[in-house]
Structure 1
Amino acid sequence: MSRPIPPSRRMAVGVLGSVLLTACQAGTPTPTHRVLPPSASPTQPPATAPSVTVTGPGLTPQQRLMALAANIGGTPDDDTSHLPYTYLHVQTWARSTNAITRTDLQRWRRNADGSGQEAIRKLPDLSGVNHRPRPEERHLLARSRKTVTRHARGGLHPHLPEPLPTDPATLTGLLASRELAAEPGYPRMLVHGVVGLAVSQYLSRDQRAACLRALADVRGITYEGGARDVAGRAGLAFKVAAGGSTSTLIVDARTGELLAAEEQVAGVRPGLFSYYLVLERGHTAKSGVALRP
């Protein structure tokens, strides 16, 4: 069922590979994200105000995701897709055998030919896997030594071929094979596909809406209310728990962007499997330059 993953997709390897690792595990993991009480749900002014029914009572998670997809707004970066480079800034906590790795990755990929560069910062691995990412680790990563790798033509591949489809059924088929839809692990595979895409490519407003509609098709997905990620940003939390694995996605209620994705596993070695924090995404005129001054 697996296929080779290009080097530029290694941010998503931990997420995608967890399908096999957690298939036989069970238990209730402890989340890293902080759940907000109803009175503290995300209240920042949205680019396009989401319908009150998105967070109101009486809706199924699927109805909330569909309503959110229909009401998300655009971002300034949606209007800069003509620039030659796609830029992503992601911090990752990921399990490696019996330790947690901590990485800060900035990537500039030239859309025309797949060239570009990556700037990577790392902190020493943490022994054990019962770790909860902390805000102060973000600042330690920002001050750690930076290694820059330049990639020649074709060195950086997108997670999925571009342009990405905006039809949710088509996108779902690319993220997880529909031939496996009856398998118990299919919901987790589809969630992993959405996360892998969001931490690897820039998604336009229509593509973000398609991802939300794809998530609405995930069996067993639940709505957890308002939550904050490790960076303190408020969003809406959706969770999928199956086979000893619990994945929680925090989505920006204004734009539909994925802010953070966490996977906790139970079993013989319970604890954190991965935590992805998407800090910036957009387009730049040059490689190696900041997205914003």
Structure 2
Amino acid sequence: MAVSTSRAGRPADHRRRPDAVRADGAEPTVSHRAVRPTRRLVLAAGTLAVAAGAVAVLRPFESTGEDVPDAPGDAAGTVLVPVAYQFDSDAPAAGPRLRALADTIVDADYDNRDGRYTYHHTKAWGGSVMSSDDGRHQVAFVDETKVWRAADGTGRQANKQLEPQYPDQASRDYWQRELAKHRTGTGTPAPSAFPLPILAVPALPADRSGLRDLLKVVHGAGATSKQVNTVYGDYAVPRQTRAEILRVLADVPGFRWRGQVTDRVGRRGVAITFDDREHDQQNLLIFDPKTGGLLAHEMLTFAPVRLGAYQVILDTGWTDQPG
């Protein structure tokens, strides 16, 4: 059985969870958007990105002489549901709200600390998606990553594969049957850790012009969304720079304010989205309403609507010793 890395859309009958609260206390309105068919997407180097051209092919169940390991964690896995928005329809332009947020943010825990290494702890889903032959059913494993990195690039990275997750119930049912056929009881994949090579980390610009270049504003809000995720995954972004990033985003056309949301690990945040009609996907950025730091980045595919990929930033800090 051949399987391929891909992103597909969530079925139209899957509705958003009512887990965000409207300003007036009511549950958010659920609506769906009709757009063109989706393109394939990949998660590369910890950054959500659009794939250009062909994608790699995974063949985990063909006769290679290797056993297929048991799924770690919750072997059954979970079905992913898009984050609920406070403003699901008629969302206002994000610019004024982002500028107001930039003016009120406070220090993050790491702002008053220092150390030789920056530390990032993330979880991501959607990096290598296994798809059935007909492309209808997908599964991917959650990847947990911890990175300690010095200014010269040296440090340590630890990766761990967690439970499988599915974009819909039909995919969960299909892959549970397939995994049961081929599982041999060999156990879960062992965590991997490895040293990082010398590769100097460029200084993070603090001025508006430098941040616009870094965030690829010239290429539009879709590219900028992905670059924001990259920046927060690479740097312990200081308070004033976090404020400038919000102001840069406020000036980028196309972002809509989605209001209060709850991310995938239960943290309250505020969100903006950009509907990328060219690539038939929606980019979602969730920010901490106090510090202005990025909590999560997600991509939602359309027609039908379902989750394509996500990354949550669980912790950022400074330390003198790699873990």
Question: Which consecutive unaligned segments of at least 5 residues does structure 2 have?
Answer: 1-43, 54-79, 132-138, 170-187
1:153 corresponds, among 198, 202, 205, to 198
Structure 2 CA distance for aligned equivalents of residues 152 and 189 of structure 1: 27
- Tell me the equivalent position of 1:34: 84
Q: Secondary structure at the match of 1:71?
A: coil
TM-score, normalised via structure 1 length: 0.68
Higher helix share: 1
Q: Note if contact 2:86-2:258 (Cα within 8 Å) is conserved in structure 1.
A: no
1:282 & 1:75 partners in 2: Cα distance? 9
- 1:86 match: 118
1:76 shift after superposition: 2.7
**Secondary structure of 1:77's aligned partner:** helix
Give the match for residue 65 of structure 1.
Answer: 98
Q: Distance in 2 between matches of 1:219 and 1:31?
A: 27
TM superposition shift of 1:96 = 2.7
Sort the Cα spacing of 1:198 and 1:209 in 2 relative to 1 into closer, same or farther, 3 A: same
Contact 1:166/1:207, CA 8 A, preserved across alignment: yes
SS in 1 for 2:230: helix
Q: Which amino acid aligns with 2:111?
A: D
Q: Distance in 1 between matches of 2:213 and 2:140?
A: 32
What letter corresponds to residue 148 of structure 1 in structure 2?
Answer: A
| CA-CA distance at 1:32 after TM superposition | 2.1
CA displacement 1:232-261 (0-9 Å, x = unmatched)? 100111111121111111111100011111
Secondary structure, in 3 states, of the residue corresponding to 2:206? coil
CA distance in 2, matches of 1:187, 1:225: 18
Task: State the distance in 2 between where 1:60 and 1:283 align.
Answer: 35
User: Measured at CA, do residues 130 and 211 of structure 1 come closer, stay the same or move farther in structure 2, by a change above 3 Å?
Assistant: farther
Indicate whether 1:240 and 2:274 are aligned.
Answer: yes
Q: In 2, Cα distance between the equivalents of 1:229 and 1:270? A: 18
- Residues 63 and 270 (structure 1 numbering): CA distance in 2 closer, same or farther, change over 3 Å? closer
- Whether 2:152 is the aligned partner of 1:109: answer no
User: 1:220 aligns to what SS in structure 2?
Assistant: coil
Q: Counterpart of 1:48?
A: none
**Larger gyration radius, structure 1 or structure 2:** 2
Q: Does the aligned pair in 2 maintain the 1:11–1:200 contact within 8 Å?
A: no
Aligned counterparts of 1:125 and 1:232: Cα–Cα separation in 2 = 19
1:98-148: CA deviation from partner (whole Å, max 9, x where unpaired)? 34231000000022x21111111103655x6448xxxxxxxxxxx974211
Q: Which of 259, 271, 275 is the matching residue for 2:306?
A: 271
> Any idea what SS the aligned residue of 2:49 has?
helix
Matched, 1:192 2:226: yes
Q: Relative to structure 1, is the Cα distance of residues 231 and 124 closer, same or farther in structure 2, using a 3 angstrom cutoff?
A: closer
Q: Verify the 8 A CA contact 2:122 2:314 in the aligned structure 1.
A: yes
Q: CA deviation at 1:59?
A: 7.5
Identical counterparts, % of pairs: 26
1:89 deviates by 0.2
The one-letter code sitting in structure 2 at the alignment partner of 1:264 is L
Distance in 1 (CA, whole Å) between partners of 2:86 and 2:288 is: 14
User: Which amino acid is 1:280 matched to?
Assistant: D
CA contact (8 A) 1:32 1:262 kept: no
Check the 8 A contact 2:92/2:256 in 1, yes or no: no
Distance (whole Å) between structure 2 residues aligned to residue 107 and residue 130 of structure 1:
31
SS in 2 for 1:209: helix
Provide the C-alpha distance between the structure 1 equivalents of 2:240 and 2:81, rounded to a whole number of angstroms: 30
2: CA distance, partners of 1:70 / 1:124: 40
CA distance in 1, matches of 2:83, 2:265: 10
**Contact map agreement 2:82 2:306 (CA 8 A) in 1:** no
AA in 2 matched with 1:34: A
Which amino acid is 2:95 matched to?
Q
1:173 aligns to 2:213 (yes or no): yes
The 5-angstrom pairing of residues 205-224 of structure 1 reads 205-224=239-258
The gaps in structure 1 that reach 5 residues or longer are 1-8, 22-29, 38-57, 132-142, 181-185, 289-293
8 Å contact from structure 2 (residues 92, 257) kept in 1? no
1:6 match: none
Change (3 A) 1:177 1:32: closer
